[in-house]
Structure 1
Amino acid sequence: MKILCWNTNESVWAHWLKVAPSENTLLRVLSLDELKALIEVNNSEQIEYCFIYLSDQDFSAMVEYSVDIRREFPNLKIIVFPNRPSQSAALRMLSQGINGQCSPYIGAKQLKMVLSVIDMGEIWSGKAFINNLIAANPMQADTDEIESEDSLNTLSKKEIEVAFHIAKGLNNKQIASEMLISDRTVKSHITNIFRKTNTKDRLGLALLVQKSNSTH
């Protein structure tokens, strides 16, 4: 599998070369134009992933470039690697479909886990990250996009349990392990939960559960 890497930092690039799975080929670009050109050149040999390093110097611009790339290449799996934490930037990118956010100096084992989770259709965020997003954006739960917390009452006992695990930041495998059920069953529950609560993603559901907890 080819991984397209937009990275202008030599130290981070050297680290990615060390921690990337051996079966992957990393292709480096230094600009947005290079990135788009390389995707077009490699059309016959599909590039599945794009890693984007968000430097301090051009942080805000890189956030918007990442969102633009997501819109232009909807089938590309995009992981961003910010050099500094920003909850607002993370919320902006994840809400627009970015597949995950990681530390630029992520370890080899964790990177392999991240790729595995995203390959299963999940967003990589982690428990602490989701909790921080919820804490940093309490007003989000009051927007019209979030269904009333009464919709949680339509869930079965098992679906409620899954919903609360999602609100804690657990991925599908972790939920399956906690509930002693299969990954397929977890996915089925999540599909039903999204439909019944009119939520579109895990963050929206987590905010809904948070809102419910705050009113009870």
Structure 2
Amino acid sequence: MSGKRHFLVTGRDAGPQAPTLPPPRWLQAFPDGRVCTWATLRAGVRPGDTVWVPVTEPDWEAHVRAFVRERADAPVVVLSPVPQDAEGLRALDAGARGYVHLLAVPAVLREVEQVVRHGGLWAGPELVQRLLAATRTLLQRQPAAARELVDLSQLSEREAQVARAVAAGKSNREIAAQLCISERTVKAHLGQVFAKLGVRDRVQLALRLAEAVPAARSPAEPGPEVSP
């Protein structure tokens, strides 16, 4: 069988109880997705498959950490009914490549899958801000000569504006509103930014720009500066 598969872990062993059904939006995003236990997952997962783990499952954090140690070739995305920064940090620390709302729309879930399958990291804007804050603290402790600055000169003016907005933690919708362009155009610019700067996702871009933004200025962006 070819193609990448999706597994939603329930953590429950098969028994007389009614089977656990995937969230409707997750099933819309991945019609061929499979519900499994941790035991059946280990027996059936293949490199490149994506594993989705709700935080409502018992000991999800320990299970994710153990699974990632065994199978780093199958990215894990943690699903939360009430996303919180602290919980998201725990998920990423356990080795998950993504942290997203349990009821996210199918289009977002598919986008998350593409990002993590290509080695990227997916997290919400608030969590990005916390990661950036921690990174800035570490960068300030490094000698200036040891810091790797990002060359923004290879970006167009609009691409640089989009890149800085991402570094500020803004969503595509917020960037589109600030720059008076469509979300589709934002995605197109962001794809060019990723390719030119050699980064895989929004988080990596934001971390790379954390030190570079103050040092490399481009023409002023339209609209007020807003911190999400």
* TM-score using structure 1 length: 0.63
Tell me which residue corresponds to 2:195: 191
* 2:110 partner SS: helix
Structure 1 24/187 Cα, relative in aligned 2: closer, same or farther at 3 Å?
A: same
Tell me which residue corresponds to 1:124: 122
Tell me which residue corresponds to 1:148: 149
User: Which residue identity lines up with residue 157 of structure 1 in the other structure?
Assistant: E
Offset at 1:200? 5.4
Partner Cα separation in structure 2 for residue 64 and residue 215 of structure 1: 41
| 1:135-192, Cα deviation, whole Å (9 max, x unpaired) | 244345467996225x345544223212112213345676566542634343123311
- Check conservation: 1:3, 1:51, Cα contact below 8 A: yes
Tell me which residue corresponds to 1:29: 36
* 2:209 partner SS: helix
| 1:67-91, Cα deviation, whole Å (9 max, x unpaired) | 543x234xxx531236971526425
Q: CA RMSD in A?
A: 4.1
Offset at 1:7? 2.3
Paired residue total: 191
Tell me which residue corresponds to 1:85: 87
Q: Which runs of 5+ in 1 are unaligned?
A: none
Tell me which residue corresponds to 1:51: 52
User: Which residue identity lines up with residue 115 of structure 1 in the other structure?
Assistant: L
**Higher share of residues assigned helix:** 1
Tell me which residue corresponds to 2:16: none
Greater radius of gyration (CA): 2
Candidates 17, 26, 31, aligned match of 1:20: 26
Identity across matched positions, percent: 15
Partner Cα separation in structure 2 for residue 164 and residue 176 of structure 1: 13
* 2:87 partner SS: coil
Q: Which runs of 5+ in 2 are unaligned?
A: 14-18, 217-228
User: Which residue identity lines up with residue 80 of structure 1 in the other structure?
Assistant: V
